[in-house]
Amino acid sequence: MPIHLRFFERRDGTVLLPPDDTTPCPADCLDREANTLTEVDALQRRLQQATNDRCQRELQHDEEAFASARQRVIDNIHAKLASSATSQYERDFLREYIKLREEKREKYRQRFACDTAYLEMRENDRPRNAEELLRESL
């Protein structure tokens, strides 16, 4: 069965996938087609790289946008920790709160990895071992 994967490419290299084959090509794009598995794999790598780059830019933007606010909160907590009016129970709670905030920030950073999962379906369809390749138990 022949492959006819239609896509649009802007002059800056941005790739757009149309929702269907009848979608007209935008004026600022070139109408392209991938006709072999090698071409489809190359297109897939470009899309994965573009998604990864976009996610990294979003993460960097978020880090920069919220860095000062996070630092103000931490400074306020440290001031509260240094206060003689703060009980030992409150100090312990605030120290654990600071640890928890850092753990949650790491989870937030990892969420960007999920964006590329849909582009990796072709790799996941490959046999992982000899039994799957031969489709019988060894």
C-alpha dist (Å) from residue 26 to 4, 33, 52, 55: 19, 15, 24, 25
Cβ–Cβ under 8 Å, residues 56 and 64: no
Cβ–Cβ under 8 Å, residues 5 and 40: yes
Spatial neighbors of 26 by CB under 8 A, at least 6 apart, are: 8, 16
Tally of CB atoms within 10 A around 72? 10
Q: What is the pLDDT along the chain (138 residues), one digit of tens a residue?
A: 678 889 999 999 899 999 888 899 999 999 999 999 889 889 988 988 888 788 788 888 888 888 888 889 999 999 999 988 989 999 999 999 999 888 887 777 676 656 545 555 556 555 556 666 566 665
What is the model's pTM?
0.58
